């Protein structure tokens, strides 16, 4: 049961992460394209900025499942390092439930917000509905649920790699 869940979770987090990488690559390419348009073709494109913002938002929500999974979220871990193994396990549960509570809000209200946003169109890119931008929140949230539970079952702590 445990290993079945973990292998499902490995797939889901990897898919989300792949999406996040694609979004980052897309945003960087669009950034370069924007400068090229302005200087080489002297025709500033309005829609690149809009797309960069939204692809980066998708990147954020698609990468947080993996960040939760790997324990890469920045935290103040003084108590954790000073506590005995049994207390650590309690803290693991607390951390997991807290993250699930926040993600539940993001999924529930994010979906509501996306549905309401369906009537708006993106400023600067009028043919596309804002639904597709807001959708990042509930989708990323659902992937995160698996990542958070995965980290509870099989804890990892890779916080350092993501700090600035």
164 binds another protein (CB under 8 A): yes
Q: Sketch the per residue contact string, 105 through 134, with another protein: x for CB under 8 A, - otherwise.
A: xx--xx-xx--x----------------xx
Sequence-distant (6+) residues with CB within 8 A of 56 are: 23, 24, 27
User: HSE (CB half, 13 Å, CA atoms) of 47?
Assistant: 6
Is residue 62 packed enough to be buried (19+ CB in 10 Å), middle (13-18) or exposed (0-12)? buried
Q: Looking at 67, 142, 145, 149, which residue binds another protein (CB under 8 A)? A: 67
Nearest approach in angstroms of CB 29 to another protein is: 9
Q: What angle do CA 135, 152, 156 make, to 5 degrees?
A: 95
63 binds another protein (CB under 8 A): yes
Q: Report the C-alpha dihedral over residues 21, 18, 157, 108, rounded to 10 degrees.
A: 100
Q: Looking at 13, 34, 143, 147, which residue binds another protein (CB under 8 A)? A: 34
User: Where does 11-163 show beta strands of DSSP type E?
Assistant: 121-122, 125-129
- Give the footprint of another protein on this chain (CB under 8 A): 17, 20-21, 23-25, 27-28, 31-32, 34-35, 39, 49, 52-54, 56-57, 59-64, 66-67, 70, 72-81, 91, 94-95, 98-99, 101-102, 105-106, 109-110, 112-113, 116, 133-134, 137, 160-164
């Amino acid at each position: 049961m445990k290993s079945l869940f973990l292998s499902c979770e490995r797939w889901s987090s990897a898919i989300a992460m792949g999406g996040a990488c694609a979004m980052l690559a897309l945003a960087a390419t669009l950034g370069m394209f924007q400068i090229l348009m302005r200087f080489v073709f002297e025709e500033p494109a309005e829609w690149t900025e809009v797309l960069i913002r939204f692809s980066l938002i998708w990147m954020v929500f698609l990468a947080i499942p993996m960040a939760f999974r790997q324990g890469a979220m920045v935290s103040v871990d003084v108590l954790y390092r000073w506590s005995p193994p049994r207390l650590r396990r309690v803290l693991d549960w607390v951390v997991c439930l807290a993250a699930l509570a926040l993600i539940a809000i993001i999924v529930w209200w994010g979906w509501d917000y996306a549905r309401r946003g369906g009537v708006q169109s993106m400023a600067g890119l009028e043919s596309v509905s804002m639904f597709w931008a807001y959708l990042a929140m509930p989708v990323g949230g659902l992937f995160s649920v698996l990542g958070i539970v995965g980290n509870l079952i099989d804890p990892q702590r890779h916080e350092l790699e993501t700090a600035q």
